[in-house]
Amino acid sequence: MTVFYGWLKNIICCICLMELLCHIVPGESYRKYLKFFCGLVFLLTVMEPVLSVTKLQKPLEETLREFSIREQVQSMEEAKQSLEGLQSRSIEEAYVGELERQMTELAKSCGAKPLWTKVTVEDSQGDIRLKNVIMRVQGEAFAKETIIQQISTLYGVKQEQVLITSDGAVKNG
């Protein structure tokens, strides 16, 4: 009789917990998932005596534990891939920002007044390579060829990949 009362107590606690969760969860869209999950838990609670008599409780618990572990592993793999993508994008953005800063400083050292610098890179199998450089400079009193040549030499890019514009005039390397 004590086993019966314990089983009945589990069912009542399960029902109370399900109702509490249904009232706590905001939004109707999540409630249907919660009701489904709670229904499964309730079904297992009700079926517990039958499962223990037929000795199916242990295999069922092991199957559920295995399923849960697989879900956790899959979730961790997805999180890992997401973080790797985020990390590589962050590194690329920082690299581009540093290149733009360095090239702006280089242009200033040549007597130019850079308004902005845009660097484009390409990622080929994990190796970030400089694709092209576009720089907008104020005024005409500076050595465009010197800037283009220095960028080309220092950063290993062809002179044709460096474009400097100035007050409507375009000077291509």
pLDDT above 90 covers what percent of the chain? Answer: 16
Residue 6, H or E segment: helix 2-24
Q: Read off the DSSP letter of residue 112.
A: -
Over residues 82-114, the pLDDT tens digits come to 888 788 888 889 989 999 999 999 988 888 889
C-alpha span between 58 and 118 (Å, rounded): 63
Nearest residue to 48 (alpha-carbon basis) of 4, 102, 85, 80: 4
pLDDT level of residue 134 (50, 70, 90 thresholds): very high
- pLDDT, mean of residues 152-164: 90
Spatial strand order of the sheet with 169-172 comes to 113-124, 127-138, 162-166, 169-172
pTM of the model: 0.54
150, 107 contact by CB (below 8 A): no
Does residue 171 register a pLDDT over 60? no
Does residue 173 register a pLDDT over 70? no
Does residue 140 register a pLDDT over 80? no
The whole-number pLDDT of residue 133 equals: 93
The whole-number pLDDT of residue 141 equals: 64
The whole-number pLDDT of residue 118 equals: 95
The whole-number pLDDT of residue 26 equals: 77
What 3-state DSSP class applies to 1?
A: coil
Q: Any residues with CB less than 8 A from the CB of 44 and at least 6 apart, and which?
A: 51, 60
C-alpha span between 129 and 99 (Å, rounded): 11
